[in-house]
Structure 1
Amino acid sequence: MGASEQVKCFKSVRAQTAVLDLMNVPFPVTAAEERNYVAGSKKLGQACSTTGKPLTANSSTAEVARDMEMVRRAVGDKKLSYLGFSYGSALGQYYANMYPDWFRALVVDGVLDPTAWVGKNSKQILDQRLRSSDGAYKALIEILKRCDKAGETKCVFAAGDPVKRFAQVANGLKTKPVEFPDGAGGTIKVTYAVFVSAILGALYGTTAGEDVTALAAEVAAAQAGGTTAPLLQRVKAAKSARAYDFPYDNGLEAGSTVICTDGTHPARAESWPAAVDRRDREAPYFGRSWGWIDSQCASKTWTVRDKNAYTGPFTKRTAKPFLIVGNYWDPATNYRGAVSSDKLAPNARLLSSNNWGHTAYGAGVCATTTIDNYLLTGTAPKDGKVCSDAPQPFTEPLPATLSAGKQRPPVVSPRPVSILG
C-alpha cells in the first residue's frame, strides 16, 4: 500500500483487466452476473495465491500490529497512543491483545468484532459474521420512517409511504434501469446495483437522512419521466473527485489480501450466490452489496496463508483500559460489533453515539470530546457512556425551492469499496 512495495497479483494490467472485467459490477444481481463474478473471484484468488506471493503470505493484520510495535520502539515512545477507524478497529484490537502492556491510550471507532473478523472454524461468509448489511438496512429503514413522520415540508421523499416507495424505485430498476446521455456522446445507466451502492455510500455520511432521500427522490423523478439533470451532476461530481489511478491499481488485491489472509472462508466460490441470497432476504438491498466482498477468499482458490497470522484470543486483560466506540446507525461496522467486542475485552470501556454515518469521531461534540479527552489524558470514561447530541435528519423545513417541487442539489455519494477504506 502507498509507497511501500505493493501486492501485485497479476503480471500485467492486461492480465488483471481480463479478470476484473468479469467482476465489473457494483455487485452481481442476475444469474449471468453471478456466474461471471464467481469465475472472476476464483481467478483473482488463484492469482493472489501464486503471482501475488510472497507478499500475500505475509500481510495479515498481525504483521501490521508487529510493524506498529517496531515503529513505537524505533521512535522511542514509551507507550503507544492509537486511534483506529473501521478496519483500524481490528488492528487496534489485535495490538491490544498481542501487546497488552504497551499502550497508554487506544481507541477503536466503528468496530469490527475480531472473532467475527477471523471467523475461526467458521464456514460463513464475512457478512454473515459481521452483519454489515443488517446495520445498513436498519439505518435505511429508520431514515425512511423518520422521513414519513417528518412529512413533505421536511423530507423530499415523504409523499406516500417512503418504505414502500423506496422498494418500488429499487425494484423498478431491476427490470428497467434509468438511462440518460452523459453529455459526451455516451450513456449513463442507473441499474439496481448502482442505485443500492450509491445509497450505501450516502449512508456513510453524517447527513445520511437528507442524502439518501434526495437520491431516492431524484431516481423516482427520472423513472416518472422527469429530469435526469441532478443524476448527471452526481456523476460529474464523482468523476472530478476521483484521485488519479496508477497504471496498475492494486486496491482490490490489497484489500482482498487482508480479508482473505485474516479470516476463514467457505471452500468454494460457487457457494456465494446461495449465501448472499440468504443475507439479502435477511437484510434487503445490502445483503448483496456486502455479501460479495469476500467471494475471492474461497479457501479452495485463495490457498495462500500467513503462517504468522494471529487468530486470538481477543480476551487479554490489558494494563490500561481501552475505548470502544460504536454508533447506532453505522452502515458498515454494525453497532453490535462494538457491543460484542466490549464483552470480549476484560478492561475496555464502551462509548455509544446516536450519530449517523460510518464511525463516530467528529460527528458529534460529546463523542469527539470524550475521545479527545481520553487520548490526551489517558483516563478512560465510565463504561457504557452514551452520547445523544449528534445532528438528526429532517429537523428543519426544506428550502422553498425544494418544497415547491425542485430537486435537492446533488450530493456525491461514492460507493464504499469495503470496510478497509
Structure 2
Amino acid sequence: MHIRRALRPNSSRGPRPRTPLRAARAGGTLLAAAALLVSACTPGTTQRRTEPAADAALAALPRATPPILSPYYEQKPAWRSCGVPGFECTTLKAPLDYDRPAAGDVRLAVARKKASGPGKRLGSLLLNPGGPGGSAVAYLQQYAGVGYPAEISARYDLVAMDPRGVSRSEAVQCLDDRDMDTYTQTDFTPDDGKETDALVAAYRKFAEGCGARAARLLRHVSTAEAARDMDILRAVLGDGKLNYVGASYGTFLGATYAGLFPDRVGRLVLDGAMDPSLSARQMNLDQTAGFEEAFKSFAKDCVQQSDCPLGGRGATPKQVGDQLAAFFRKLDARSIPTGDAGGRRLGESLATIGVIAAMYDQSAWPQLRSALASAMKKNDGSTLLALSDSYYERDSGGHYSNLMYANAAVNCLDLPAPFAGPEQVEESLPAFEKASPVFGRGLAWNTLNCAYWPVQPTGRPHRIEAKGAAPIVVVGTTRDPATPYRWAQSLSRQLSSARLLTYDGDGHTAYRRGSRCIDSEINTYLLRGTPPTNGKRCS
C-alpha cells in the first residue's frame, strides 16, 4: 500500500529542528502504510502504465441535505481555549456511518485562528497537510497559524480538523510502542522463505492489532467519509462555500470533496496532487519511480560536495546508487549501533526509511550526507535513526503518534490491496527494481500490508470531474519525490474546472517553498478568486 506524505510544518519549508526531519505529514511506516511514498517524475519521464486508469467517475451527492443529517449540520460549536495562544478549539460530531446515521457518532477535533484583519473577512480557510494520518490541528497550531502569509491570515479564519481516525479526533490505534519498535525494524527485503514469513507475520500482527483496538472505526475512515465530514464543518462554520488548501493526500481529500459537493466549492488549492484514477499497484510503481528520480537529484548534488560519502566529483547517479545499495546490503547482514536508550540498532529497514525521509526536501540533503558519513565511516547509526524516527513520528521518549495506524487504515479502505500474497510480490519485483534499482525491492514488499487487513476496502480507483465547480487550482512539482508531477497533470485533466500550476523544481509540494511566483499565484487566487492561467509554470 502506498504511503502518502504531507507537507512539512516549518517556515522555510525545510526540516524542523525537533528531530532532523519532523513532518506534519502523512508519511507512514514503509511497513505500516506500505509506502507513504508518492513520487516524482521529471516532465520528460515516460514510464509505461501497466494498468488502465479507471473509467468510473465519482458521482456528486444530492444538493439538498437529507433531513436525517440536519442535526449534524445545525450543530453549534462551543469554542474554547486550547492551550496555544491565539487559537481556539471545539469538538464536532459526524455520523460514524453515513448510510446508517442512527448507528452512532464519531468525534472530530477542530481548531481555528480567527482572522486578524485588516480587510474584509473572506470566511474560513480549511487546511489539511496530508497523510492520511497527518494531524491538521497540529499543523495549524505549530506552523500555519504563524507561518501563513499575513495577508491570508488577516482575512481568513484559518481552520483545521483532524479527519476521523486521526490524532485528536477519534483515533485508530493498533500497536503499543514496544511492538511498533519491533515492527519498524522488521526486514522488508526478505532474502529467503524464513524472512518472508517473518515479514508476513509482522503485517498480520499489525493488522490484527488494528482490528482489535479500532474495531468500531476501522470500516469508517475512508476519504469519502472524511470529505463528507468537511461539509458538516463548512456548514457549522457558517460558510456557504468551502475554501481549502490541501497538500499531498490532502489533495485527494479536497478533490473528493469537490466531486461530492461541486456546487459548494469555493477556492480550492490542491498542492502536490494525487491521481484518484490509479490502482494501488500502479500508484506504488509511480511512487517508486519518483523516489528514484529524487535520489538521482540528490546524487548529482552529493558528488559536488566535499563531504559526500557516496562518491566524488564525476561519479554518476548509478555509481552513487550502487554505493548506497552496497551499504544497505551490509546493514542487512549486520546492523550497527545507534546509542539508542532502548537498544535499537540501525539495520537496512530503518536506514532506508532515513534516506527516504530526506528525499522530501532538498534542504535535508546536507543532513543526509552527514548521517550517511557517520554510519558508513564511523559505524554510528544515530543520525539516520533520528531521520527514520521523524518519519514515523516517534518522539524521544519512544512514543509513536497514531500517524502510521491511521495511514494504513485509510489506505487499505480506500483501494483494494495491490497484491494478495508474497508470490505476487515476487512476480512484481522486476518491475519495481526497474523503476528504482535503489528502493524498488523494499517498496515492492511494502505494498503487501493491506493483503492482511481485517476489513474489506470500500473504495475503488475512479476519476473525479466535479462538474459545475468553481475554478480549482491543481499544483504539481516536476521532481516531487512524494507526489509525481504526472499525477497533477492527470488530476487537472479530470477536474472540469482545474487550472494546472507547475513548479519546476525539487521537493514535495510547492506553496510556501520559496518560489515567489507560486506563492503570488496562489495568494492572488485565495484573496481575489482569480485563478492562474491554466498551464502556468514557475521556478
TM-score (norm. length: structure 2)? 0.60
Query: Does residue 96 of structure 1 match 2:258?
Result: yes
- How many residues are aligned here? 366
Letter in 2 for 1:25: T
Quick one: distance in 2 between partners of 1:207 and 1:29?
Answer: 32
8 A Cα contact 1:97 1:315, kept in partner: yes
Distance of aligned partners of 1:355 and 1:38 in 2 relative to their CA distance in 1, 3 Å threshold: same
Bigger helix share: 1
Distance of aligned partners of 1:318 and 1:293 in 2 relative to their CA distance in 1, 3 Å threshold: farther
1:403 aligns with none
Secondary structure of the equivalent of 2:526?
helix
Distance of aligned partners of 1:212 and 1:277 in 2 relative to their CA distance in 1, 3 Å threshold: farther
Worse overlay, 341-350 or 255-264: 341-350
Q: What is the root-mean-square deviation of aligned Cα atoms in Å? A: 3.4
Deviation at 1:159, TM superposition (A): 3.4
Deviation at 1:82, TM superposition (A): 0.4
2:168 aligns with 3
Deviation at 1:173, TM superposition (A): 3.6
Deviation at 1:276, TM superposition (A): 4.5
Query: Does residue 167 of structure 1 match 2:304?
Result: no
Residue in structure 2 matching 1:70, options 227, 232, 254: 232
1:57 aligns with 219
Residue in structure 2 matching 1:139, options 287, 294, 299: 294
8 A Cα contact 1:329 1:354, kept in partner: yes
TM-score (norm. length: structure 1)? 0.75
Distance of aligned partners of 1:325 and 1:33 in 2 relative to their CA distance in 1, 3 Å threshold: farther
8 A Cα contact 1:203 1:356, kept in partner: no
Query: Does residue 365 of structure 1 match 2:516?
Result: yes
Residue in structure 1 matching 2:349, options 190, 193, 198: 193
1:252 aligns with 404
1:409 aligns with none
8 A Cα contact 1:197 1:289, kept in partner: no
Distance of aligned partners of 1:158 and 1:178 in 2 relative to their CA distance in 1, 3 Å threshold: farther
Quick one: distance in 1 between partners of 2:388 and 2:182?
Answer: 21
Deviation at 1:209, TM superposition (A): 4.9
Deviation at 1:184, TM superposition (A): 7.1
8 A Cα contact 1:115 1:312, kept in partner: yes
8 A Cα contact 1:361 1:368, kept in partner: yes
2:312 aligns with 158
Identity between Structure 1 and Structure 2 (%): 29
Deviation at 1:261, TM superposition (A): 0.3
Distance of aligned partners of 1:169 and 1:71 in 2 relative to their CA distance in 1, 3 Å threshold: closer
Query: Does residue 351 of structure 1 match 2:501?
Result: yes
Deviation at 1:55, TM superposition (A): 0.8
Letter in 2 for 1:161: A
Worse overlay, 189-198 or 350-359: 189-198
Deviation at 1:174, TM superposition (A): 0.6
Secondary structure of the equivalent of 2:496?
coil
8 A Cα contact 1:72 1:80, kept in partner: yes
Query: Does residue 320 of structure 1 match 2:465?
Result: no
8 A Cα contact 2:267 2:470, kept in partner: yes
Residue in structure 1 matching 2:358, options 202, 208, 213: 202
Quick one: distance in 1 between partners of 2:184 and 2:426?
Answer: 14
Once the two structures are superposed, residues 73-95 of structure 1 have per-residue CA deviations (whole angstroms, 9 ceiling, x without a partner) of 11101111100011101101101
Quick one: distance in 2 between partners of 1:266 and 1:112?
Answer: 17
Distance of aligned partners of 1:91 and 1:310 in 2 relative to their CA distance in 1, 3 Å threshold: farther
Quick one: distance in 2 between partners of 1:38 and 1:99?
Answer: 40
Quick one: distance in 2 between partners of 1:144 and 1:278?
Answer: 22
Secondary structure of the equivalent of 2:254?
helix
Once the two structures are superposed, residues 243-273 of structure 1 have per-residue CA deviations (whole angstroms, 9 ceiling, x without a partner) of 3679785433211110000002245232334
Residue in structure 2 matching 1:296, options 449, 453, 475: 449
Letter in 1 for 2:284: D
8 A Cα contact 1:136 1:329, kept in partner: no
Quick one: distance in 2 between partners of 1:139 and 1:79?
Answer: 37
Secondary structure of the equivalent of 2:256?
helix
Distance of aligned partners of 1:153 and 1:232 in 2 relative to their CA distance in 1, 3 Å threshold: closer
Secondary structure of the equivalent of 1:115?
coil
Worse overlay, 350-359 or 205-214: 205-214
Q: Which has the higher contact order (CA 8 A, sep 6+)?
A: 1
Query: Does residue 374 of structure 1 match 2:525?
Result: yes
Distance of aligned partners of 1:81 and 1:134 in 2 relative to their CA distance in 1, 3 Å threshold: same
Quick one: distance in 1 between partners of 2:316 and 2:533?
Answer: 39
8 A Cα contact 2:211 2:218, kept in partner: yes
8 A Cα contact 2:167 2:402, kept in partner: no
2:413 aligns with 261
How does 1:235-250 map onto structure 2 within 5 Å? Answer: 235=385, 242-243=394-395, 250=402
Quick one: distance in 1 between partners of 2:219 and 2:413?
Answer: 8
Once the two structures are superposed, residues 165-220 of structure 1 have per-residue CA deviations (whole angstroms, 9 ceiling, x without a partner) of 44124314413568665457887744443333222111111425545545455555
Quick one: distance in 2 between partners of 1:44 and 1:194?
Answer: 17
1:24 aligns with 185
Quick one: distance in 2 between partners of 1:78 and 1:112?
Answer: 26
Secondary structure of the equivalent of 1:324?
strand
8 A Cα contact 2:335 2:346, kept in partner: yes
